Structure 1
Amino acid sequence: MTLGSESNFLERPLSSLVSDAERLTIGSFGPVVTYSRKVFIPLTTLCRDVCHYCTFAKAPRQIRSPYLSREEVLAIARAGAEAGCREALFTLGDRPEARFSAARSALAAMGYRSTLTYLGAMAKAVLDETGLLPHLNAGLMDDADYAALRPVSASMGLMLETASERLSHKDGPHYGSPDKLPARRLEALEAAGRALVPFTTGLLIGIGETRIERIEALQAIRNSHARHRHIQEVIIQNFRAKPGTKMADHPELSLDEHLWTIAVARLILGPDMVIQAPPNLHAPDELAALLRAGVNDWGGVSPVTPDHVNPEAPWPRLDLLDRATSAAGRVLRERLAIGPSFARKPEAWMEPALARVVRRSVDARGLPITDGWHSGTALPMPVERREGVTVQSGRIREILARALKGGRLEEGDIVRLFEADGPDIELITGAADELRRQAIGDAVTFVVNRNINYTNICLYKCGFCAFSKGTAKALRGPAYMLDYEEVARRAVEAADRGATEVCLQGGIHPDYDGNTYINVLRTVHTAAPSIHIHAFSPLEVTHGARTLGLSLHDFLTMLKKEGLATLPGTAAEILDDEVRTIICPDKVNTAEWLDVMRTAHAIGLRSTATIMFGHVDHYAHWARHLLAIRDLQSETGGFTEFVPLPFVHMEAPIWRRGQARSGPSARESLLMHSVARLVLHPLISNIQTSWVKLGEQGVIAALQAGANDLGGVLMDESITRAAGGTNGQAWDADRMTAIAEAAGRFAMQRTTLYQPAAALMTAAE
């Protein structure tokens, strides 16, 4: 292999390499540094290799038993699960049965033909009985081995260590270790790629290799990854001399040499590769230098088990690791055994059952939701407050400055805001709150309204909808269709209770046509002529127009004449057809939704705009959605407000099938309100927060992060409840007032069009 242009790394100053590496790292990962909370399960310390630096491998006479028993494995895993671990790291020697009769006898006694088949059984036991995700470091394997173990593991790993054949020669550290031949290890990397295994590899540096040989090894890893896209992280591990080994007196690597290799790894492998360095192999005051050189992951850290490979180097306490990471302007975040970029698309890299587990565990970044909060639940929404600055804060401030001036942000800017973490969240929420104060003042508005969902029977197959497709009949209730008399009764009752608005929506019943919607309007307008009718999603409008053979313009004009006053901006979900083809393939597409709203605005019907997020979508989709709303508002001025609706997953069919995440994280839910305020400024002044989705603490947090409106008292909320939501069906005016005051503001009842209302609701039963 030739070095090519990368030979210049040999001549460049370390400071130059580190500067470029840090820039690339921050550009891709921002301030986030990940780690995995794991338990270390040394399934066997027998090994057929004799690496001259290793203390992990033992001879049969040195150990009580060749293998951990099933009970011992599960005891370690259960202790890890109780301590909040998510990964079970299985580490073992390479095919010990090829060398030791004790291993062969032990396997035969347990009923297994090989170490790898026993490993598969133990990984399955841990997965099934504790929920920990196995990561397997099992030495050299071929295509068949990877295929056999893939169903019971989240990821696997094999350190390349070196590409130098020279180190396997006599007197070299790998002499007598057939599994350490670089060609064999590179073939194992290829086999893992062919098997679609998320894979960890890396270098062990300081064992006698040269800088040129390190570059060659990194190039080999890069080339394998280019073919298969399967390398989830590359570890740059420094050699540590261990007493009792042949290399006990071998000099250890200097910090600068480690930094040089990390920086070169970043520059060779590119900005998107996860670069890891074990934090327990350096002094705490050296960790910041590793981060600056290109590290963005600390690997597995266990609160339960020691590092059996480096027993002389205890894991750092997680609070101390967090502190050291923060001191470097970074934010420590937990990850799974499968890397974040792979966890964002688990269906491509895992068996369906494992993909389901991973997908349900993570946010849109591919990082696990660790606080237990989900939208729609009664659990108070946690809000993390972190002071300080990060390496990303300058870029965030630049984006915020443009947003505060009302400029149109680009998609990449918006994605960067959604990726923000740690102290940068405070920057964003603070800027959004200040913008809210300037645009709206301190009033927290709400409308006294009633939802009338006239049917839950629907022709469409939206995967997120539990209202018509949910399996929990106790929540959804039986299929129903209200008759006109009942619709009228509910409208009159709403008016008698002080409501200024009724919101009319329902499923697309197979018997409904455009005349149905006209008759619903006539019914309500006749029964309660003073009440504002806020009705019909763009899907319902499109269905009505098509069934009557009318244009959108003509049908909307008819609806307006019959009393329609405004349209809800529902059925938007995510305005990106890449997402819509998954969650609502037979629904109106992005262009059709926007066309309904454009047409409605043109004839004087104003509308709300919504986003339903946190399922199969990602930050780029959210950015495109916000920009689509902004661009249409710039054209028409017809949107009254923007309403973030976090996905409530519990009874949603797409979630129950394992095809969606479990809603957005608390961080994402809060940021959606702030980022919407910033992106839509100054074109949309009102940002609403949903008490149904977020609960009391959540809406208070949102009100302090850019939101100014609590929506409606609703009286009869049923859609979120059908999905498993537990935050109630109605809030009265007193509760709205208390929430506003808890956020440091005052409440004001409004109309649908954001005019002050004459009187508050008298009662809600």
Structure 2
Amino acid sequence: MSGFASDLSAGAIAAVVEATPLHSLVRDAEALTLAHHGSMVTYSRKVFIPLTRLCRDVCHYCTFATTPSHVESAYLDREAVLTIARAGAKAGCREALFTLGDVPEARHPAARKALEALGHETTLSYLREVAQLVLDETGLLPHLNPGLMSDADFAALRPVAASMGLMLESTSERLGQRGGPHYGSPDKAPGHRLASIEAAGRAAVPFTTGLLIGIGETRAERVETLVAIRDLHLRYGHIQEVIVQNFRAKPGTKMADHPEPSLGDHLWTVAAARLILGGEMTIQAPPNLQSDALPQLLAAGVNDWGGVSPVTPDHVNPEAPWPHLDALAKVTAAAGRVLVERLAVAPRFALKTGHWLDPKLATRVRRAVDARGLPVVEAWRAGGVEPAPSILQTGVTTSSRRIDELIARASVGERLDVSDITTLFLADGPDIARLCAAADELRRQASGDAITYVVNRNINYTNICLYRCTFCAFSKGGTRDLRGPAYLVEDAEVGQRAAEAVARGATEVCMQGGIHPKFDGHTYHRLLGAVRTAAPDVHIHAFSPLEISHGASSLGMPLDAYLAWLKEAGLSTLPGTAAEILDDEVRALICPDKVNTQGWLDVMRAAHEVGLRSTATIMFGHVDGYRHWARHLLAIRDLQEQTGGFTEFVPLPFVHMEAPMWRKGGSRSGPSFREALLMHAVARLVLHSFIPNIQASWVKMGPDGVVAALRAGANDLGGTLMDESITRAAGGRHGQLCGAEQMSALAIRAGRPLVQRTTTYGSVASRAPLKTGA
């Protein structure tokens, strides 16, 4: 069974699930869960802020709601709220869960009096203020559970909340009748709750809802409740998770002696939820309410443990403490799953913030997440100086078999497809180590143990550019800029720098620049002449495909003829820059006026056909996704299969600090370390038997990151650079030069020998020591 059809009625579904053995339901639910979520199980690291425990409802099982005489104050004051939030932020939490009763001011004069003293007429008005305070002062993302809300309420609260929630509990009207658990609780009327959940959909609020099972409802009524949630989600797409919570009898309540649902009953409902709501939906079960049966809940369809706090108790179920996060991770791992932190807003909503979040919240979330929509929890960032985390683990997950199958296929040179490669990029937990080890073995087979590097100098002759790539902090459009002045280096100075580079031991000069409004095809020809005159024997690695395309079109020359002309003038090889992501879906966002995917490939094909070899790059971790990375890798592989002209593949993690699109809130903050490491490993697998060299960029990855990449498929450290400026302009902090001594230190840490190479991976007969002076 792959799940129930979205138009199947509750009655028809109930008939099927009632007639199906539990083990069959669980088997089908688990298969559907794994097909959509893999081995990943999420949780949110949160603090619990009980803004008020007063409520106008009197649910017969609840110990959270109380009366004014049993609390010190009707509401937590502002400082009390911030004290909890600050403790959460200090403990690494990312969510502030506000829970409170429904409109307590409608029942309790004490609530009205307290609100007046706080300067508010309603609980929701005060909630908005303190949620904004928490957001501004701690950065925690508020998740609000204030009960029933109208369209106006959602509009007022949406700017301060990453998500909101309301447990539907049950659509059974019986439960509100005399003797039922919801008798005397007007806000628990199913029609009112469904209307509020629908209002959340109209307001485009990422929303959490769910069932409370075992309070007197029948299984058929549970199915009806799940179908009601399904139908609302089909209409608005706003349900981010569905909680299947089991009733716990609590002393001091009217239902203290009511029987609790059995584990089998809980598993039946979880499996039914998965099959009714589909594979994409997040199904949650609170881990503190069924602590001895977590593996069984995972097998039944759960893929989220909800909010778990290292700071505050579960105020709704105080008798059931949160499991320690280390213990929760171990139990999850023992079931072959990987525990991964999420935000208050679910991953698939975090990747579409423009629709689901207020603009200011959207920027916060976008900057916090990786390409899965999950928070980047380490301090490491591309171009930064923070140490790389240790992420390699041993073990086996439910995804390991699939990962091993893909490794085996790639290892014999088989072409993986986009879906296959995306699966590799989704690897987490122990599967990261599997991929890195496999990539390292293929590296050994393809290029041996030597770690190579080239002694070169970067010459960026202008940072003035006609194009407005949103990721680029290097290019300037005028004479002055906040990040430094615009410049244009004269031809003679370019030649002098090349001669200096040779004098300092360089075998290569790498020349690239912006598309200056005065440049045409003759400009690049002149630059080659200047370098060739000053340094006759140096290898000239120059001109991005954008520059080649511009030069050829400005002279009305075909690409092949123009490239042949440049080759005759001294051009040796081309850098594979300006590729960014070879997918026009992404290029339309980050470089809409730049050469498109086919244009980039056409330049490289023409270069290879006239005898010019080139590198290939990818610049990743901004607005792109794993499917885009997969398409990029396949485009490189396919062209290489045709021409054989690429010498190496160079992953370039996006350095975000000064990038215009990041500063404007339009991109992520570069890839996570996990993603950066996987890019090297997956590239080795995908390109195996076609491109033997994978380069790790010391400028982007930093020392720790480079060493890790050298153990995950990379075999090359690139160039010494001498005058690196593009990454530095973007905020990179790893300097302008990585000399032979530093390269050697990196190789020693990786446990392999260091060998100087030429640009095209030939040997250097006698290496002159690299001079660090002018």
Common fold, TM-score beyond 0.5?
Answer: yes
Which of 477-486 and 132-141 deviates more? Answer: 477-486
1:174 pairs, out of 179, 182, 188, with: 182
Give secondary structure in 1 for the equivalent of 2:619. Answer: strand
Distance 2:637 2:588 in 1: 23
1:402 aligns to 2:432 (yes or no): no
1:743 has 2:743 as partner: no
User: Counterparts of 2:478 and 2:305 in 1: how far apart (Å)?
Assistant: 42
Answer yes or no: is 1:612 the counterpart of 2:600: no
Deviation at 1:472, TM superposition (A): 14
The range that moved more, 161-170 or 6-15, is: 6-15
Residues 398-447 of structure 1 deviation map (CA, whole Å, 9 limit, x = unaligned): 11110011000011110010000000011100100000111111011111
Distance 1:107 1:592 in 2: 64
Matched residue, 1:758: 765
Is residue 2:53 matched to residue 1:83?
no
- Once the two structures are superposed, the pairs formed by residues 129-208 of structure 1 within 5 Å of their partners are 129-208=137-216
CA-CA distance at 1:764 after TM superposition: 2.1
The aligned residue for residue 38 of structure 2 is 30
Partner residue, 2:57: 49
CA shift, 1:483, in A, is 0.2
CA gap 1:184/1:761 in 2 versus in 1, 3 angstroms:
farther
- What is the alpha-carbon distance in structure 1 between the residues aligned to residue 514 and residue 483 of structure 2? 13
Aligned: 1:312 with 2:306? no
Q: What are the equivalent positions in structure 2 for 1:314-329 lying under 5 Å apart? A: 314-329=321-336
* Conserved? CA contact 2:338–2:429, under 8 Å: yes
Deviation of the 1:379 alpha carbon: 1.3
1: CA distance between counterparts of 2:159 and 2:633? 39
Structure 2 residue matching 1:221: 3-state secondary structure: helix
* Separation (CA, whole Å) in 2 of partners of 1:455 and 1:633: 31
Comparing 265-274 with 467-476, greater Cα deviation is found at 467-476
Q: CA deviation at 1:474?
A: 9.9
> Which is further off, 570-579 or 544-553?
544-553
Question: Which residue number corresponds to residue 700 of structure 1?
Answer: 707
2:283 partner amino acid: I
- Name the counterpart of 2:463: 456
Counterpart pick for 1:7 among 15, 26, 30? 15
Deviation of the 1:385 alpha carbon: 2.0
The alpha carbon displacement at 1:738 in A equals 2.1
Q: Deviations over 1:716-753 (max 9, x none)?
A: 10110111111111111122122112111101111111
Which region of structure 1 is more displaced relative to structure 2, 473-482 or 92-101? 473-482
Report the AA paired with residue 443 of structure 2. R
Distance 1:560 1:476, change over 3 A: farther
**Paired position in structure 2 for 1:99:** 107
Which residue of structure 2 aligns with residue 343 of structure 1? 350
Question: Which stretch of structure 1 is more off in the superposition, 473-482 or 678-687?
Answer: 473-482
Equivalent residue letter for 2:193: R
Conserved? CA contact 1:733–1:760, under 8 Å: no
The alpha-carbon deviation at position 691 of structure 1 amounts to: 0.3
Distance 1:543 1:564, change over 3 A: same
* C-alpha distance after superposition, 1:69-117 (max 9, x if no partner): 1111111111111111111000000011111111111112222111100
Q: CA separation of 1:472/1:661 partners in 2, compared to 1, >3 Å: closer, same or farther?
A: farther
Which amino acid in the other structure matches residue 732 of structure 1? Answer: G
2:519 maps to 1:512: yes
The match for 2:5 is: none
Structure 1 residue aligned with 2:132: 124
| Contact 2:456/2:507 (8 A) holds in 1 | yes
2:652 aligned residue: 645
2:270 to 259, 262, 271: 262
Distance, in Å, in 2 between the alignment partners of 1:643 and 1:456 is 22
Alignment equivalent of 2:435, drawn from 428, 443, 447:
428
Alpha-carbon separation, structure 1, partners of 2:476 and 2:149: 45
Q: Is structure 2 residue 238 aligned with structure 1 residue 230? A: yes
Aligned equivalent of 1:251, options 226, 245, 259: 259
SS of match in other structure, 1:312 = coil
- Name the residue aligned to 2:389: 382
| Residues in 1 aligned to 2:478 and 2:652: alpha-carbon distance in whole angstroms | 21
Identity of aligned pairs, percent? 68
1:63 is matched with 71
2:444 partner SS: helix
Residue matched to 2:3: none
Task: Output the CA distance in 2 between the equivalents of 1:473 and 1:698.
Answer: 34
**CA contact 1:475–1:722 (8 Å) conserved in 2:** no
Give the secondary structure class of the aligned counterpart of 2:293.
helix
Aligned partner (choices 717, 720, 732) of residue 727 of structure 2? 720
Output the CA distance in 2 between the equivalents of 1:737 and 1:759.
Answer: 17
Aligned partners of 1:226 and 1:48: how far apart in 2? 32
Please report how far the alpha carbon of residue 14 of structure 1 lies from its aligned counterpart in structure 2 after TM superposition. 1.1
Contact 1:732–1:761 (CA under 8 A) maintained in structure 2: no
The SS at the match of 1:36 is strand
Contact 2:464 2:478 (C-alpha < 8 Å) held by counterparts: no
> What count of residue pairs does the alignment treat as equivalent?
764
Residue deviations 1:493-546 (CA, integer Å, cap 9, x gap): 111111111100000111111110110011111111101111000100111111
The answer as to 2:498 corresponding to 1:468 is no
1:530 aligns with 2:537: yes
How many angstroms apart in 1 are the aligned matches of 2:578 and 2:10?
56
**Which residue identity does 1:377 align to in structure 2?**
G
The residue aligned with 1:672 is 679
1:256-281 deviation line (CA, Å, top 9, x unaligned):
11111111111111111001000110
**Cα deviation code 1:456-515 (max 9, x no counterpart):** 111110111111259998995311100011101000011111111110000011111111
Q: Can you list the C-alpha shifts for 1:141-188, whole angstroms capped at 9, x where unaligned?
A: 011100100000000000010011111111111111111111111111
**1:472–1:287: structure 2 CA closer, same or farther, 3 Å change rule?**
farther
Alpha-carbon separation, structure 2, partners of 1:521 and 1:472: 26
Match of 1:685 in 2: 692
Quick check: 1:332 aligned with 2:339?
yes
Q: Distance in 2 between matches of 1:761 and 1:190?
A: 72
Q: Which residue of 2 aligns with 1:558?
A: 565
1:644 counterpart SS class = strand
1:466 is paired with a residue whose SS is coil
Q: Which runs of 5+ in 2 are unaligned?
A: 1-8
Letter aligned with residue 488 of structure 2: M
Are 2:108 and 1:113 equivalent residues in the alignment? Answer: no
Q: Contact 2:207/2:238 (CA < 8 Å) preserved in 1?
A: yes
Alignment CA distance shift 1:381-1:470 (3 Å)? farther
What's the counterpart of residue 486 of structure 2? Answer: 479
Cα root mean square deviation, aligned: 1.3
The match for 1:209 among 203, 217, 237 is: 217
Tell me, what secondary structure is at the counterpart of 2:396?
Answer: coil
Cα pair 1:475 1:723 within 8 Å, conserved: no
**Is the counterpart of residue 219 in structure 1 residue 220 in structure 2?**
no
Distance (Å, rounded) in 2 between the aligned partners of 1:473 and 1:251:
74
2:644 paired with 1:625: no
Distance 1:464 1:399 in 2: 33
Partner Cα separation in structure 1 for residue 188 and residue 375 of structure 2: 35
SS at match of 2:668: coil
Separation in structure 1 between the aligned mates of residue 92 and residue 387 of structure 2, nearest angstrom = 20
- The aligned amino acid for 2:16 is N
Cα 1:647/1:475, change in 2 over 3 Å: farther
C-alpha displacement at 1:6, in angstroms? 5.0
Any idea what SS the aligned residue of 1:467 has? Answer: coil
CA contact (8 A) 1:470 1:653 kept: no
761 and 185 in structure 1: CA distance in 2 versus 1, 3 angstrom threshold: farther
The 3-state SS of whatever aligns with 1:33 is: strand
Deviations 1:597-649 (A, max 9, x none): 11111111111000000000010000000011111111111111000000000
